[in-house]
Structure 1
């Protein structure tokens, strides 16, 4: 496969993506296995696609950990899972005033999307009502798009969230179908796919992404991108594992920075028109190469993640400015 990578014309992959054609498995492997000397040329090709659909705009998202450390699931990457011994805060779903304060903070950070995330297999009726009440008031008083991430939903729950005004629902595939049993046993890959399809039927925009660095092969990374293309996910967060002490995946190595850039380019080629977000773990895995990520990605989180710290917000603003890019503000 190295021979294919050495002979690959990266601009031809950009043209293929712009014409709506999907990369072959062999082309995808060529991207992921490219020599590091090819990375700048690869990112230039990815930027051609990104620029066509998004110009130099960068979408900002802010996340609030609306319920922490009480999850009964056994996801190996998560510090909030039942099998984790990480010293994280534990609290039930935040009240409406706290969720509203988070929305105001999102606006102050120039975020266009406010992400309400609650750990757990799925919301109780009481929890859903709390989120619905907060969402309704946010929609009435603030120019924010709202993304909810509450776990697996039934039809009635999806309907209530959509009617309340939730724009987008996040439910990540996380890894490949083949690798999924190695990551969690308390729910299935298919259940995640079903939830994404369910939110689509109720008119919410689907947000679904992956976590890179959990033992998957390069072929499985490509299969993840194919799966998200098939799901027609509008927003694709690309997380890079931040191995947290106390979690089963604590000993997983970080994704090399150059490999992380190749992954972002791959997803841009396979899902060319979608919002690609460089998400959790970018600071730990991309390190000083974070600015290059925005030549493929067009979105990022500002501030902290669920249980880990993010880069200083001022550093994100500076990075965007230094690239000659600009923050995309909502026009609701």
Structure 2
């Protein structure tokens, strides 16, 4: 598998609407590490074509912590997790607004309101909607909501309130899904993304790499997101949290993470690809290289794990000669 390929052919394919075959996708993931720069160069040409040297910044607020009845094996907030995480019900409007102001201060164009749980209760939905309306009136921020499984009517109300984007990750491949979560199905996740799309919200859906999936399944995940037509694709790398079933999982090697980001760029060329949770832990000193394939990062902390200090992210973007994309609504 380690013969040298003409990675430029993958650039051409991506820019001309072609789709990598499974075998080609696997060759990206299986390439020798001395191929990294050539692969990133090929991915960068695609990224540059669609996004120039702009980097989108997103900031998350953990709007409700712990207290979740689902059993997702990677999550510190699940019903089966023994991880010591803060547990609180939905944050009040003032706290959500303060988070939005913080997102503005960090130059984030998108503010992500995330709540653990199977889906939002009537009260939670009302609280989010109230905060969203006020943010929309006072700040030039895009708002992404991530509240679990949605009903059609709930999706309609969020869209009406001014939520731009709805996030619901596929997380892993269809075939690996049952080994990660048993309390809901892969299909239910796809349905929620479709419901959000039907109401005019932009679909955001991504994956978590490092949960025992095979390389073939990683390629399948990229295909699935292309099929779902997700506008925004967060690629998370498992941060194994003590107290969760996946606590002992091995860290994804940095080189493998970079190849994975390149693969997603080739398969979903025009989409926002975001280096998400686990970025600091997985990529370590190679974080800047990720932006040659991806065009977006989360700034600040994740849900129950810490991110790096914001000035480091701004410096990294500046040092690459890239620039933060200011929010244009």
**TM-score bracket for the superposition, by shorter chain length:** over 0.9
Within 5 A, what are the aligned runs for 1:164-179?
A: 164-179=161-176
Unaligned regions of 5+ residues in structure 2, if any? none
Asked if residue 161 in structure 1 is aligned to residue 155 in structure 2, the reply is: no
Deviation at 1:331, TM superposition (A): 1.5
Within 5 A, what are the aligned runs for 1:172-191?
A: 172-191=169-188
Asked if residue 213 in structure 1 is aligned to residue 213 in structure 2, the reply is: no
In structure 1, distance between residues paired with 2:323 and 2:178: 41
State TM-score, norm by structure 1: 0.99
For the residue of structure 1 that corresponds to 2:3, the secondary structure is: helix
Q: Which residue of 1 aligns with 2:17?
A: 20
Deviation at 1:7, TM superposition (A): 3.7
Unaligned regions of 5+ residues in structure 1, if any? none
Q: Which residue of 1 aligns with 2:140?
A: 143
Q: Which residue of 2 aligns with 1:192?
A: 189
For the residue of structure 1 that corresponds to 2:297, the secondary structure is: strand
Give the counterpart of 1:66 among 63, 66, 73.
63
In structure 2, distance between residues paired with 1:6 and 1:120: 46
Asked if residue 244 in structure 1 is aligned to residue 248 in structure 2, the reply is: no
Moved over 4 A (4+): none
CA distances 1:198-224 after superposition (whole Å, capped 9, x unpaired): 100000000000000000000000000
Deviation at 1:8, TM superposition (A): 1.5
CA distances 1:58-80 after superposition (whole Å, capped 9, x unpaired): 00000000000110000000000
In structure 2, distance between residues paired with 1:315 and 1:15: 34
In structure 1, distance between residues paired with 2:49 and 2:268: 13
In structure 2, distance between residues paired with 1:273 and 1:258: 23
CA distances 1:258-306 after superposition (whole Å, capped 9, x unpaired): 0000000000000000000000001010000000000000000000000
Equivalent pairs, count = 329
Within 5 A, what are the aligned runs for 1:266-277?
A: 266-277=263-274
CA distances 1:77-125 after superposition (whole Å, capped 9, x unpaired): 0000000000000000000011011001100010000000000000001
Q: Which residue of 2 aligns with 1:95?
A: 92
For the residue of structure 2 that corresponds to 1:286, the secondary structure is: helix
State TM-score, norm by structure 2: 1.00
Within 5 A, what are the aligned runs for 1:111-122?
A: 111-122=108-119
In structure 2, distance between residues paired with 1:6 and 1:303: 40
Deviation at 1:149, TM superposition (A): 0.1
CA distances 1:235-271 after superposition (whole Å, capped 9, x unpaired): 0000000000000000000000000000000000000
Asked if residue 48 in structure 1 is aligned to residue 45 in structure 2, the reply is: yes
Q: Which residue of 2 aligns with 1:289?
A: 286
Please report the RMSD computed on the Cα atoms of aligned residues, expressed in angstroms.
Answer: 0.5
In structure 1, distance between residues paired with 2:117 and 2:6: 45
Q: Which residue of 1 aligns with 2:301?
A: 304
Deviation at 1:6, TM superposition (A): 1.5
Give the counterpart of 1:35 among 32, 35, 42.
32
Within 5 A, what are the aligned runs for 1:260-271?
A: 260-271=257-268
In structure 2, distance between residues paired with 1:242 and 1:234: 24
